[in-house]
């Protein structure tokens, strides 16, 4: 098995991708099959941004039917693995778990969902996915490991921009996490088995704070302020609540209120003047 785990954003990676592809290309030349092309895989991955995958039928670890559309309403993170993988997929999943834990601390455990989909059918059964999750120690809330239907797995992977190629030892593929909006549209792809938290959390913050709800009560408004004031601290590598941002927001509102009050008083005074 040989997954390609990219550690930097896609732009500027073409040379690295071609280097990574060289061993696979040599192996493919020897067995007469087409080589896995990581540059083409990334291009395909990027091409689906802005699209909305169809409503596929998936099955959770208990074998219950879970439509993909059931995850609408909250931002969603999607990753693909195969349960028989013994190196890249486990490493990527464990490191994703660290990133998801950080995102849940910063944004709230219930603010987004995560799903990991097994693409090696018929082997990635609900039981196999349950075993895989247990081996990686993933117990975070709102994260499910799912099995698709065999007939639709290739199209499902294609619509998420995930490319894989069977080899003698498993599969070649680019490790990626797809960020999906609450409406089901693919917003961004994050590549690699390890990445800085802002690559994952900043798009989620944008999704959680950028779209107005039909009606927002005080609790929703307070939550949005909390999210805006949660910033990344490069020194610690973690997100923290920045009171300076809160003070700046409060000061801004105070200034705006003072200006509006002054204009209102001037308007009332001018109305009372004779001949006006």
Q: Can you tell me which residue has the tokens 């490790």?
A: 175
Region 39-57: what's the mean pLDDT? 94
DSSP letter (8 states) at residue 5: -
What angle (nearest 5°) sits at the alpha carbon of residue 101, between those of residues 99 and 75?
80
Distance CA 203, CA 220 (A): 19
The phi and psi torsions of 152 (rounded to 5 degrees) equal -115, 5
Residue 42 φ then ψ, to 5°: -70, -40
Q: At residue 146, what are phi and psi to the nearest 5 degrees?
A: -125, 150
Per residue in 114-156, pLDDT (tens digit) is: 999 999 999 999 999 999 999 999 999 999 999 999 999 999 9
Contacting residues for 226 by C-beta, under 8 A, at least 6 apart: 241
- Strand partners of residue 78: 115, 178
Sheet of 2-4, strand order = 2-4, 170-174, 164-167
pLDDT grade for 265, boundaries at 50, 70 and 90: confident
Let me know: does 35 contact 24? Beta carbons within 8 Å.
yes
And the tokens for 250? 């409060």
Tell me what pLDDT residue 261 has.
73
Mean pLDDT of 39-46: 91
What six digits make up the tokens of 34? 């087409």
The contacts of residue 97 (CB under 8 Å, 6+ apart) are 136, 137, 138, 140, 143
- Give the chain's end-to-end CA distance (angstroms, integer): 84
Domain topology for 2-195: Glutaredoxin (3.40.30)
- Distance, C-alpha 45 to centroid of its chain: 14
Phi, psi values for residue 275, rounded to 5°: 80, 5
Q: Is 131 helix (H, G, I), strand (E, B) or coil?
A: helix
Least confident of 9-23, 161-175, 252-266: 9-23
Per the CB < 8 A criterion, the answer to whether 6 and 13 are in contact is yes
Lowest mean pLDDT among 54-63, 167-176, 264-273: 264-273
Nearest to 112 by CA among 213, 207, 41, 236: 207
Question: Given a cut of 90, is residue 217 above it in pLDDT?
Answer: no
Average pLDDT of the chain to the nearest whole number:
78
Residue with more model confidence, 146 or 259: 146
Please report which confidence band the pLDDT of residue 85 belongs to, taking 50, 70 and 90 as the band edges.
very high
Q: What is the share, in percent, of the chain residues with pLDDT greater than 90?
A: 48
Domain boundaries, the chain: 2-195
- Burial of residue 45, with CB atoms counted within 10 A of its CB: 0-12 exposed, 13-18 middle, 19 or more buried: buried
Mean pLDDT of 182-191: 94
- Report pLDDT for 240: 53
Identify the residue with better confidence: 168 or 265.
168
**Average pLDDT in the 252-256 region?**
71
Mean pLDDT of 39-43: 90
């Amino acid at each position: 098995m040989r997954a390609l785990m990219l550690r930097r954003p896609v732009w500027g990676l073409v040379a690295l991708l071609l280097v990574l592809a060289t061993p696979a290309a040599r192996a493919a030349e020897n067995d007469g099959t087409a080589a896995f092309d990581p540059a083409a895989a990334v291009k395909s991955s990027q091409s689906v941004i802005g699209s909305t995958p169809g409503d596929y039928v998936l099955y959770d670890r208990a074998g219950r039917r879970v439509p993909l559309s059931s995850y609408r309403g909250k931002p969603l993170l999607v990753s693909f693995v195969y349960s028989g993988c013994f190196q890249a997929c486990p490493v990527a999943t464990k490191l994703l778990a660290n990133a998801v834990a950080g995102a849940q601390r910063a944004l709230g455990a219930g603010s987004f969902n995560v799903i990991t989909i097994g693409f090696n059918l018929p082997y990635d059964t609900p039981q196999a996915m349950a075993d895989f999750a247990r081996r990686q120690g993933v117990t975070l809330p709102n994260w499910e490991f799912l099995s698709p239907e065999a007939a639709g797995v290739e199209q499902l992977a294609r619509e998420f921009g995930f490319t894989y190629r069977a080899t003698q030892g498993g599969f070649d593929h680019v490790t990626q996490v797809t960020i999906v909006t609450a409406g089901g549209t693919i917003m961004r792809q994050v590549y690699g088995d390890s990445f800085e938290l802002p690559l994952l959390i900043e798009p989620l913050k944008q999704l959680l704070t950028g779209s107005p709800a039909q009606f927002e009560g005080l609790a929703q408004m307070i939550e949005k302020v909390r999210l805006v004031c949660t910033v990344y601290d490069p020194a610690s590598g973690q997100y923290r609540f920045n009171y300076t941002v809160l003070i700046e927001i409060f000061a801004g509102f105070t200034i705006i209120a003072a200006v509006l009050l002054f204009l209102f008083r001037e308007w009332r005074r001018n109305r009372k003047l004779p001949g006006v």
